[in-house]
Amino acid sequence: MSVHLHREIEKLKKQLLSLCALVEEQVDTAARALVDRDADAARAVEERDAEVDRREVELEEECLKILALYQPVASDLRLVVAVLKINSDLERIGDLAVKIARRTAALAPEASMAMPFDLPAMCEKSRSMLRDSIDALVNCDSVLAQNICLRDDEVDSMKREIRRKAEQIIRAQPEQVSSLLGFLAVARNLERIADHATNIAEDVIYLIEGKVVRHKPKA
């Protein structure tokens, strides 16, 4: 690897980890706002979304510059491709955090209404998958990445159970339909965050082992 390419690769890694930290903070704040019905915290998530978008564009431009100027091969090429894909997933996770925040702001006036589902547990599952996918990336840990892929089914199951309970409550208490649909939308967004965390884990496996594991049956 040339000295210049090495310098650009290190810069790329730092940019990616900075975006990881920002997106993780966005998800954490959105989850905390949901649990506490904190409209101010929810608005803070929305206000920082432009920063996530800006960094995502900068990181993509950096990847394209490296590809054009240095034409990397082997592990260097794999790294740039993985960063491009992870960058896209991180931006989408940031968007989902904003969607959760917006739902939270809408639900905040109804703070007296008890949350009929265990959304905090689903929040923690999705957050831990995102946190571990970033740890797997930082530590080049393919074993942890594989474990994240297996955990995705747990979040899918939680979302299905929340949907089932929501349908039951709506039939019994149709006057609560608006709030229930809001909670259901949050569950759907949490499931999508877990999906994107799984995508990141799969890209970590590709980066470390050179294997594409998407669309393959889970062990």
Number of domains in the chain: 1
Q: How far is it, in rounded angstroms, from Cα 177 to Cα 169?
A: 8
Tokens of 197: 């965390």
* Nearest residue to 93 (alpha-carbon basis) of 184, 191, 215: 191
Tokens of 92: 């989408």
Quick check: is 191 in a domain? yes
Q: How far is it, in rounded angstroms, from Cα 59 to Cα 165?
A: 41
CATH value at residue 40: 1.20.58.220
Quick check: is 217 in a domain? no
Tens digits of per-residue pLDDT, 18-45?
A: 999 999 999 999 999 998 889 999 999 9
Q: Which range is least confidently modeled, 61-65, 136-140, 191-195?
A: 136-140
Residue pair 28/142 in contact by the 8 Å Cβ criterion: no
Query: Is the confidence at residue 211, as pLDDT, over 70?
Result: yes
pTM of the model: 0.93
Average pLDDT in the chain: 92
Query: Is the confidence at residue 111, as pLDDT, over 70?
Result: no
Q: Which range is least confidently modeled, 61-65, 106-110, 150-154, 200-204?
A: 106-110
Quick check: is 186 in a domain? yes
Question: If you average pLDDT over residues 82-105, what whole number do you get?
Answer: 96
Quick check: is 218 in a domain? no
Quick check: is 25 in a domain? yes
Quick check: is 215 in a domain? no
Q: How far is it, in rounded angstroms, from Cα 181 to Cα 172?
A: 14
43-58 in b/e form (b: 16+ CB < 10 A) is eebbebbeebeebbee
Going 151 to 152 to 153 to 158, the CA torsion angle's sign is positive
Domain limits for position 105? 3-209
Quick check: is 188 in a domain? yes
Quick check: is 21 in a domain? yes
**Amino acid letter for position 92:** R
Q: How far is it, in rounded angstroms, from Cα 111 to Cα 34?
A: 10
Q: How far is it, in rounded angstroms, from Cα 25 to Cα 41?
A: 12
Among residues of the chain, what percentage have pLDDT more than 90? 82
